[in-house]
Structure 1
Amino acid sequence: MRNSTCLQPSVATTVALPIIYSFLFTIGSFGNILSAWIFSRKISTKRTKYIYRANLVAANLLICSTMPFLAAYFASGYQWTYDSAVCRTANHLGTLIMHVSMYVTITILCSTALSQYATLKKSNDLTQYSQTANESFYRGVLQKFRQPKFAKHLCITIWLTVVCITVTAITYDAQAKAVQEFHRCYNIRVESGEYTTKIAASVATACFFLSFITVLMSYYSLTRHLSKIQKNTCIGKKHLIYRTVKRNILVIQIILTVCFLPYHIFRPLFYVLLTNKDCQRLNYLVEIKNFLTCLAAAKSSLDPLITLLLDKKFKKSLYGLFRKSTSNHHKRTADIFTGETPPNMNKDGKMSVE
């Protein structure tokens, strides 16, 4: 099972995955670059939620930048030699950075959910049920996630951790001796990873489920609180923020469930079932893992659309950008057909001094 001839990619791997990654790269790069431009020019990132979202866009762009390497690896990796430069480049700039950036995204999503939940903890009608010292401590910790300074330091810490992990992994892999047993780049060692990779994957999986449960408990706690409010009184205008926060946390929960949960449920099973010496089963397991990884990566490409649907300020800035562009285009077109010159311009096309 361990030789390079056992693992053979199917058409789903060599054709479907490269096409999917190429499509995700195209729409993801355009959407996230546009989002980055709007955040930098139109929206102030001094607010906590925009600090998280700006870093989320950066993580999305990093994941999108790995997609061409992944597309090339799945399309031609079975033809590359294992110790070639193109194989190592695809593994370092593709698989490794994509996975590390994925957990940056998960951590920022969890922090965003806690920040949203903390906006309600400062309200008197929400905190009147919490009077113990422990609950006061928890409220204090939650309030940290709402502070711009804490958000910046948290994001910096996340990115420094990413850099350290990436450099360590690349350095370790560069020093490791190539195993002569493998001749092709597309092999079980690359797909399953070394022992240290499996340990890191186990820790990362545990971190994901911790984030998943944290967001789930936040949504459950908020839902219970809204039920208490509705029993005593109707939710008025001043309580509409509750519904908005509930919706935002629910969207984060759906993203974690649809995009990331299948992959993290399957990965432990993948390592357990990998011990079976059946080549056909091995190929099925590897292809399922790769398609679930692609599903997780797809979130980064779809994230600008989710932001557009949920963030009114982002939507207003985007619509204002297109309205301004369309208005200028129509004005120039009208000037051409009517023979009029723009203000402060003479008939020779030069600026006139008034």
Structure 2
Amino acid sequence: MGLMRNSTCLLQPSLASTVVLPIIYSFLFITGSFGNILSYWIFSKHIATKRTQNIYLTNLVIANLLVCSTMPFLAAYFADGYQWAYESVLCKIVNYFGTLAMQTSMYISITILCWTAVSQYATLMKNNDYTQYSPSVNENFFYKCLLDKFRQPKFAKYLCISIWIIVLGVTIPVIMYDYHVEPNQEQVDRCYHWKSEYGGLTAKIPVLIATAWFFLFFTTVLFSYYSLVNHLSKIQKNSCIGKKHLIYCTVKRNIFVIQLILTVCFLPYHIFRPIFYALFASEDCQRMNYLVETKNFLTCLAVAKSSTDPVVNLLLDKTFKKNLYNFFRKSSLQHHKHTADIEETTQMCRNK
């Protein structure tokens, strides 16, 4: 009933929404598209996808490109969406394709980041130190088998396919229901409306599932980081790490970077989202406007992760970093050679 009362409330976007968000999304589109297209080109042309980590990162890039494709529409929506008709083509693209791309990309990214952290942890734990200083874990046969699976590229490939199927299988039916059934229940005139922001009456259950999904993987990465730190502490007490110290520190840093991304980009969004749905059923229009604007900025923060992933690839994958360096070095050499040829040709013409 609260949502029906909300239909009389007219959402008014602030200057922050109509100016700042379009600028941010336009900037993210340019940087994210360039970075992820370059990343995909390097992964597909110069790096063999047989490595477990490369399989995860390639799927991450594809998910990022999917969400980058919606950013121009999101920029237009926040700039002029309050003037669009609800039944317009642009409004439908933002409400349905935009929602599908963002939700799919977000939860595939969260899942793959988690699997990447677990994969790095599993690879490190393959060493003999693992069995020597972690006897309690060593006795857990299931845990050992699970970690062993995460080191296998074939398992990574099947896992990524499963993630795409599960996320799309949950998201598409809800969006199709909203598209075919919900519009018939209430007439909406403007695109920037509570219905577009709330996502339809069927949104609550998927939101609860998605929030639980996020916190499951968030705690998994946190546990991996804690286990690694605890493992390193035991090794340092019993022996000298020596040459392996750099490897341990690198893996520790990588898992910390993944944990940082989940905390900064996704945690605020997933803490606020259930609060948004709990408080939105209100007759206070001013509160509704504040809730919508807060949600949109936290969504933008989550989406921004898609544009920063190429930088994350530099930190997580040495092979990617090396190929990227060679690419720019080769481009620079070709540019200098081309410039030198022009200068030489110009000098010959002058001598004549």
TM-score normalized by the length of structure 1: 0.91
Q: Percent identity?
A: 64
1:313 is aligned, of 310, 319, 327, to 319
Give a deviation string over 1:269-294, Cα, whole Å, max 9, x none.
Answer: 11122133211111001100000000
SS in 2 for 1:195: coil
Structure 2 residue 154 is the aligned partner of structure 1 residue 149:
yes
Q: Which segment drifts farther, 57-66 or 325-334?
A: 325-334
Equivalent position amino acid for 1:229 in 2: I
Aligned to 2:63: 59
Equivalent position amino acid for 2:339 in 1: T
Give matches, 1:297-336, under 5 Å: 297-336=303-342
Give a deviation string over 1:161-195, Cα, whole Å, max 9, x none.
Answer: 23333432343233214344422111112211223
Give the CA deviation at 1:103. 0.3
Q: Which segment drifts farther, 188-197 or 288-297?
A: 188-197
Query: Distance in 2 between the 1:4 and 1:110 partners?
Result: 42
Question: How many pairs were matched up?
Answer: 340
Query: Distance in 2 between the 1:133 and 1:41 partners?
Result: 39
Equivalent position amino acid for 1:252 in 2: I
Aligned to 1:189: 195
After superposition, the Cα gap between the structure-2 partners of 1:201 and 1:333, relative to the gap in structure 1 and judged at 3 Å, is same
Query: Distance in 1 between the 2:9 and 2:275 partners?
Result: 23
Query: Distance in 2 between the 1:155 and 1:106 partners?
Result: 12
Aligned to 1:175: 180
CA contact (8 A) 1:83 1:178 kept: no
Give a deviation string over 1:101-138, Cα, whole Å, max 9, x none.
Answer: 10000000011111011112222211233357862211
Once superposed, which parts of structure 1, at least 4 consecutive aligned residues long, lie more than 4 Å away?
A: 131-134
1:10 is aligned, of 10, 14, 17, to 14
1:92 is aligned, of 92, 96, 104, to 96
Aligned to 1:348: none
TM-score normalized by the length of structure 2: 0.91
Query: Distance in 2 between the 1:207 and 1:134 partners?
Result: 29
2:34 is aligned, of 30, 54, 78, to 30
1:236 is aligned, of 235, 242, 254, to 242
SS in 1 for 2:135: coil
Structure 2 residue 155 is the aligned partner of structure 1 residue 140:
no
CA contact (8 A) 1:4 1:188 kept: no
Q: Point out where structure 2 has 5 or more consecutive residues left out of the alignment.
A: 347-352
Instruction: Compute the RMSD of aligned alpha carbons.
Output: 1.8
Equivalent position amino acid for 1:172 in 2: Y
Give the CA deviation at 1:66. 1.2
